[in-house]
Structure 1
Amino acid sequence: MSAVDVALLIVGSSLVIAVLAQAVHFDLAFGLRYSASARDEERSNVLSRRLGRVVRNQMEGVAMFVPLAILAQDRIDGGGFAAACLAYAISRPVHGVFHAAGNGWVRSVTWIVGITLLIFLYGSVLFRSSSLA
């Protein structure tokens, strides 16, 4: 399994874990009866809203990263690209944990790291930088 494959696995797994954490918290906080209902009446608390944002952020990250990684996997060889993919993949669950915990400053830093890595990865695909080899 390549480093990019591992990064894809981490990114996908972090989304699954975020969805499960949100669902478990929601069931514990509001009960299975409400979870199984049509949810016409909105219920939330601070943690459920944070976990909802974590899930949305993870989905946005997946939508940006997965096509890039799949496209680039056959086109770019080099340790730099693979390392950037892994760093991005690690930044996603770290961002989610700090976001759910309400640590805004660290959450913002992890978001900046992630978006910077995405920009680097997209740039390396677009310009096929030889410095990545």
Structure 2
Amino acid sequence: MASQTNMPIKKDSITIINVAVAVIHYKNQYLLGFRDASQHQGNRYEFVGGKIEHNETAKQALIREVAEETGMDINSNIAVKLGRLHHDYGDKQVCLQVYRNEMTALQYEQYKHCSHGLEGQALRWV
């Protein structure tokens, strides 16, 4: 079954992409990344995250994507699943598995001044 292996799902010739999303926060501050204009849905802020590979769980993808995009190690943080959202952009469909992840005070102090991620994207605590 596609959802168990995290392979993209084909539905009526449109691929559904499985994505892990991290709602990273510390108290009332939330971390957002800015999508480059050349990317799908570019020039917008979004929560950190990315595609779930076929050989990993959503939580594993969450940890990997956050590390790749920000350098943050959230492996020891508690990730609480908020839900699963499906969205159809017309040209592609996504299944977002959304997790809340609270930073420790030490993590927040370490990363609160980072204005750019490891992939060059702007980062902002709001």
> How high is the TM-score relative to the length of structure 2?
0.24
> How high is the TM-score relative to the length of structure 1?
0.23
Larger strand share, 1 or 2:
2
| Structure showing greater Rg | 1
